[in-house]
Amino acid sequence: MAVVLAFLIGGLYAGALYMIMRRSIVKMIMGLAMLSYATNLLIFTVGGLTRAAPPLIASGATEPAPPYADPVPQALILTAIVISFGVLAFAVVLIEQTHRSVGTDDSNNLRGTEGDV
């Protein structure tokens, strides 16, 4: 299972980088979204893929009964999803505004801030 996920994550990273390097800014945003999915899946995978019980401690015991799943990666992913959702929402509004004011979807035309070279 980990091998399958490893290929999937690698594919997502490759696809994300390809999309980020496209000239269309819409595709670029899609690439950024894929990049965050790849990262989240990576954290999920490195946390260990086990069929295990939730890490709950039974009353009276001092530690959870093995095998239990590591809850930290899931907490990390949850936080990362919330953050990337917020940031992507902002990025989408930003490209919408940029498109309205520059009138193009081509990042090659965003040269106004490069100064005289």
Q: Which residues bind other proteins (CB under 8 A)?
A: 20, 25, 28, 32, 35-36, 38-39, 42-43, 46-47, 72-73, 76, 79-80, 83, 86-87, 90-91, 94-95, 97-98, 101-102, 107, 110-116
| Cβ proximity to other proteins, 58 vs 117, nearer residue | 117
| CB proximity list for 56: less than 8 A, separation 6 or greater | 64, 68
| CB proximity list for 9: less than 8 A, separation 6 or greater | 38, 41, 42, 45
> What is the nearest approach in angstroms of other proteins to the Cβ of residue 53?
19
- Max CA pair span of the chain: 72
> What is the nearest approach in angstroms of other proteins to the Cβ of residue 2?
11
